[in-house]
Structure 1
Amino acid sequence: METINNTDQQIYSMPRIGDQAPDFEAVTTKGKIKFSDFAKDKWVVMFSHPADFTPVCTTEMSGFAERKSEFEALNTELLGLSIDSIHAHLGWVQNVRQNTGVYFDFPIIADLDMKVAKLYGMLQPNESETAAVRAVFFIDPSKKIRLIMYYPLNVGRNMDEILRSLHALQVSDKHGVALPLNWKQGDKAIVPPPKSLDELNDRLADTTLEKVDWYLAKKDIPNS
């Protein structure tokens, strides 16, 4: 885990891809959790938003809520966070449900002391020292961080890309392949390049692959 200093010499953690997700205990809208015990044997998409009762955040949280079943189909739990109190969270959840019918039925961490936000590098000092940026952490069942996205306060995330990335990570793990630009379900996957002359000769002789060249070959994979 890397650390960075801002101009006042405050230190913020910056977890990286491949790190074990930092453990923590927190109060959420679904009760207290200890992260290392949360969502056993499942993926977790943990995401932060700057503040409750704000317009862009409301659209984003509604997007997660409306597509929660798609995350569940990918064996994934959602976990939100902002630097607000549990009472603010509960009031916001009820306000959105009352006004739009959308229910944020997943835990949202009340991080008033900024403990978790600092632990995960969600506070970016040149953007804000009191509001979390729009971070997204993709965490696998072994609690390893597999992908990180950061968005500024004024730009909302793309839910299609979040789901596409999650699916791509799982497909890559399951089939031992890489995924090309703009990959989506049903597209061909990239076969890892050969590492020896024997593997190279086998690759050249393989008629089941779509070969652009010996180092770039694609194959169909079952829908997952």
Structure 2
Amino acid sequence: MEANVETQKVITMPRIGDTAPDFEAVTTKGNIKMSEFAKDKWTVMFSHPADFTPVCTTEMSGFAQRKEEFDALNTELLGLSIDSIHAHLGWVQNVRENTGVYFDFPIIADLDMKVSKLYGMLQPNESETAAVRAVFFIDPSKKIRLIMYYPLNIGRNMDEILRALDALQMSDKHKVAMPLDWKRGDKAICSAPKTLEALNERLADDSVEKVTWYLAKKNI
């Protein structure tokens, strides 16, 4: 008797440190190719389950209302859902007419689910036809630096998205790590010593705040 084999669905899930998978897509601001999008800038790419839905409207409005903060961090926004370009345009106009908020960033029309599947945004145990609320932080070299996933019924936290983006950029710039709840103006964490020589140098360094020899903070 042949053994029963349960077929499992394999979901592509890009990981932190991976190069952002390339694709071409139609958006509300024209066609894009991911590998050529936002040259010399960071990208925050985020998916939402569907146009003309309440939680998604609050989230997209949040990105739009705080777009200047992303601009200040040299970052382009890129939205996505499994809807047509016509649905996107209609939703953008509907929200603008009713709230005055304008989604002035590209939103990918992913009707064939190509991009959603490529980035692991379509997760069958949550929904077969709607993308979860994923957020990908992609640096100028097109490396994925941070990933957030939220379920369909829970909206994202815009403060945390901006905080994490700022932390990534400041960490790169100053070659430091960031502690719990770090925000701009807080001290950053120095790398822990890796040799006895470096340990002795750390102990003698009065320019940093030493909690203990392996945990030291400094202003940046």
TM-score strictly above 0.5: yes
**For the residues of structure 2 that align with 1:21 and 1:134, how far apart are their CA atoms?**
17
Give the match for residue 167 of structure 1: 166
Change in CA separation of 1:138 and 1:157 when aligned onto 2, cut-off 3 Å: same
**For the residues of structure 2 that align with 1:175 and 1:70, how far apart are their CA atoms?**
21
Shift of 1:8: 5.2
Give the match for residue 110 of structure 1: 109
The two structures have a TM-score, normalised by structure 2, of 0.96
Matched residue pairs, number? 215
Written as runs of structure 1 = structure 2, the 5 A alignment for 1:5-154 is: 9-154=8-153
Change in CA separation of 1:8 and 1:128 when aligned onto 2, cut-off 3 Å: farther
Q: Structure 1: which amino acid aligns with 2:113? A: M
**For the residues of structure 1 that align with 2:42 and 2:147, how far apart are their CA atoms?**
14
Shift of 1:9: 3.6
Shift of 1:49: 0.1
Secondary structure of 1:14's partner?
coil
Give the match for residue 156 of structure 1: 155
Change in CA separation of 1:154 and 1:8 when aligned onto 2, cut-off 3 Å: farther
Which structure 1 residue ranges, 5 or more long, are not aligned?
1-6
* 4+ aligned runs moved over 2 Å, structure 1: 7-12
Matched, 1:218 2:199: no
The two structures have a TM-score, normalised by structure 1, of 0.95
Shift of 1:11: 3.0
**For the residues of structure 1 that align with 2:209 and 2:94, how far apart are their CA atoms?**
53
Q: Structure 1: which amino acid aligns with 2:22? A: D
Give the match for residue 182 of structure 1: 181
Fraction of identical pairs, as percent: 83
